[in-house]
Amino acid sequence: MSQVLRPLKDIFPQADFPDVLRGLSSPDDAAVLKLTDELSMVATADFFAPVVDDPYQFGAIAAANALSDVYAMGAEPKLALNLAGFPKTLDLDILNEIFRGGADKVREAGAAIAGGHTTFDEEPKYGLAVMGVLNKATAFANEGAKPGDQLILTKPIGTGIITTALKQSKIDESDTEEAVASMARLSAGAAKILRAAPAGAVHAVTDITGFSLAGHGHEMADQSGVALEIAFSKIPLLAGTDGLAAQGVAPGGAGRNKDYFGQWFERGPSITDAQETIVFDPQTSGGLLVAVAPQALESLMADFSEASEPVWHIGKVTDGPNGTIHLV
């Protein structure tokens, strides 16, 4: 979790590394290093254990998840390195399929895998270190949201609950097809639309992954000095998510997210325990959460529709208390 890095801030103070534009002193979805007045390098790394049984799908999902951080910064991925752990007891053909899934997704993103590192591990793990190029004119950050801004989300929620249900044999693999397709979908199209938006239209961007919609929403709100109001009825859900949550199906990460981020969470009187669980559900390769200037919302939604890119209007930015998530 991000808080384990906080003790390192004093070792790498911003004043000693002025070209590190986003790092430990200004946490974001990826690190940013200034190269010139106009260009920066974006770097990120992410890897995890399988969330689906199919090795090719797992590789594609893990790659899309790592690439998402680059898109959330407004950057274009250029180079990736494989990061993998693999048991000695498994057939190497499985690892080859994981790598093939990741490679196809990186190629789809217009980037190249140029190397990596693999070690033995008791459980398979895979992901990427990704580097991208960021133009100052189209750079995003997870701060900058303003009261009155409207919140949009580019992927449905529920991957943690769906994949947990699969592991618990409470759903069939055929019931995960929508979730797999969502997790493997790149945020490239959404990011392209946001980069093309008029100046001042997009105020803040973050991607929704392991900290959940509530957790990553809190980070955006806290960094921006605002609060977020999210309407549960407007949140897009993967098919079956609400029913499974009502049955008590939830990954362990949902509880950990609630334990930590719950101090900044407020729910309306009509919100159920199951609905609260859903907004704390850790996502794999989730969508982009974007704070949009209110006057730009209609045209931006139209741009998404014209490009056949999914998007949902789920809430708004309000005055503090800073970092608070109001679920209504």
Q: Give the tens place of pLDDT for each residue, 53-66.
A: 999 999 999 999 99
Q: How confident is the model at residue 3 (pLDDT cuts 50, 70, 90)?
A: low
DSSP string, 106-170: HHHTT-EEEEEEEEE-SS-EEEEEEEEEEEGGG---S----TTPEEEESS-B-HHHHHHHHHTTS
Q: Give the tens place of pLDDT for each residue, 78-116.
A: 999 999 999 999 999 999 999 999 999 999 999 999 999
Q: Do both 134 and 18 map to the same domain?
A: yes
197: domain CATH number is 3.90.650.10
144 within domain boundaries:
no
Q: Which of 138, 159, 176 is the endpoint of a domain?
A: 138
93 within domain boundaries:
yes
Whether 1 has a pLDDT exceeding 50, the answer reads: no
101: domain CATH number is 3.30.1330.10
Q: Which of 90, 114, 138 is the endpoint of a domain?
A: 138
Distance CA 285, CA 282 (A): 10
Whether 26 has a pLDDT exceeding 90, the answer reads: no
Q: Give the tens place of pLDDT for each residue, 252-266.
A: 999 999 999 999 999
Q: Give the tens place of pLDDT for each residue, 280-301.
A: 999 999 999 999 999 999 999 9
pLDDT at res. 263: 97
Which of 23-37, 184-198, 295-309 has the lowest average pLDDT? Answer: 23-37
Whether 24 has a pLDDT exceeding 60, the answer reads: yes
Task: Read off the pTM.
Answer: 0.94
Q: Which of 138, 166, 196 is the endpoint of a domain?
A: 138
Q: How confident is the model at residue 244 (pLDDT cuts 50, 70, 90)?
A: very high
Distance CA 100, CA 105 (A): 9
CB of 42 within 8 A of CB of 30? yes
123: containing domain: 2-138
Amino acid at 328: V
Whether 44 has a pLDDT exceeding 80, the answer reads: yes
